Amino acid sequence: MGRDKPIKIKAWIKKKIILVIFLYFFTLNSSFSIEADVFVQSTVNRASKILSENLSKDEKIDKLKIIAEETVDIRGIGFYTLGSIRKNLDSDQKKKYSRLFKEYFLKSFSSRLSEYTNPEIDVLSKEVLSENYTIVNSLLKGTSERPEVKIDWRVYTKNPENPLIRDLIIEGLSLARTQKEEFASILSSNNNDINYLFKTLEDFVFIL
């Protein structure tokens, strides 16, 4: 009996070690990719839940901003909308632009979306364009007050564990491209002086 006990203990320790090794490698490989269409539907559901809650407009805006910061590539959209002039900016100007654009985007996005009451958006399909991009097709259901609207989501999927929204295409109109054209108009009217664009963004963020 005395000899069997050490053997049993050794066997128990061996099982314990195997379990620890298994859990270690499971943890290392426990990253999960998120399908773009699932990501979009989840994001839509989160926003719809907030919009249907009995909250003040300011409370809804604050919650929507959190969702936007988690799911939208605000920095990527910002530099896309800036166009080629971004190559001429120094590091301080780029930092200032990133900060202003983020505040501009969050205020614009959340303020507009907060006007909706319980919007129903159904994801219909997706089209994988490349390893980095997927288009997710959806439909905003119509009501007695508004028609149905086709919305396509351009999702950046380079990191499949953390997909991000890069653009919304509403009835064929790209919001990112429209914003880029608006900024280009401001810059071209002011000799491509970035300070005029800074002033425009500051006026919207801090005054309007």
Q: Are 171 and 149 in contact (CB under 8 A)?
A: yes
pLDDT at 145: 76
Q: Give the C-alpha separation, 124 to 130, whole Å.
A: 19
Q: Give the C-alpha separation, 30 to 7, whole Å.
A: 34
pLDDT at 115: 75
Q: Are 114 and 57 in contact (CB under 8 A)?
A: yes
Q: Are 97 and 194 in contact (CB under 8 A)?
A: yes
Distances (CA, A) of 80 to 91, 152, 161: 17, 18, 23
State yes or no: pLDDT of 24 exceeds 60: no
pLDDT at 119: 77
State yes or no: pLDDT of 26 exceeds 80: no
Q: Give the C-alpha separation, 102 to 114, whole Å.
A: 18
- The whole-number average pLDDT for the span 2-13 is 52
Give the type of residue at 200: T
Two structure tokens written together for 170: 């509403």
How many residues does the structure list for the chain?
208
Q: Give the confidence band of 31 by pLDDT, cuts at 50, 70, 90.
A: very low
Find where tokens 């300070």 sit.
Answer: 195
Two structure tokens written together for 175: 């919001």
Q: Give the confidence band of 33 by pLDDT, cuts at 50, 70, 90.
A: confident
Two structure tokens written together for 113: 């979306």
- The whole-number average pLDDT for the span 157-169 is 93
The beta-strand segments (E) located in the chain are 121-128, 133-140, 149-156, 164-170, 173-174
pLDDT at 193: 94
Give one word for 188, left, alpha or beta, with left for phi > 0 and alpha for psi -120 to 50: alpha
Structural domains of the chain, with CATH: 67-206 (3.10.450.710)
Q: Are 37 and 123 in contact (CB under 8 A)?
A: yes
SS3 at position 163 = coil
